[in-house]
Amino acid sequence: MLVWGVMGVLAFAGAAGAEMLAGRVGLSTAMAARIGGALLMVAGAYQLSPLKDLCLAKCRTPIGFILTSWRDGPWGAVHMGVRHGLFCLGCCWLLFLALFPLGIMSIAAMAVVTLLVFAEKTLPAGERIAKVSGVALLLYGAAV
């Protein structure tokens, strides 16, 4: 929760800062679409990356992480929790970044990203789902 809480605060600050900056420089709709398309393509490329695969493997099987990264005591538990949280963040943070161009307040976009993260983490075909979503994000980003 600590990792996700910090990330949420940073994302909110980033969104507020980007909105303020866009208003100050008079960002055109066409330029905003290009930036959104680029963000979608970056998220898609990350879905296909070895780093995504590594983080997803660690996040999918917490028992393996616990067995290989055990730390004694309360601070050991905090350390393990933060470390595991970072792996889980690493496997899906760019999907959450993709919400910015898809509609940060769109319930439908949030539902799709939530289902995608859930499927990647829990279904046997999670790795394939990540790859297919990566290709879809690349294509959609290019079309924007």
In this predicted model, what pLDDT tens digit does every residue of 83-137 receive, in sequence order?
A: 999 999 999 999 998 998 888 889 999 999 999 999 999 999 999 999 999 999 9
- pLDDT band for position 61 (cuts 50, 70, 90): confident
Domain of residue 115, residue span: 2-143
**What is the per-residue pLDDT for 108?**
94
**What is the per-residue pLDDT for 54?**
92
**What is the per-residue pLDDT for 14?**
87
Tell me: pLDDT of 26 over 90: no
pTM, whole model, 2 decimals?
0.85
Count of domains observed in the chain: 1
**Cα distance between residue 126 and residue 133, in whole Å:** 10
pLDDT tens-digit map of 32-54:
889 999 999 999 999 999 999 99
**What is the per-residue pLDDT for 89?**
93
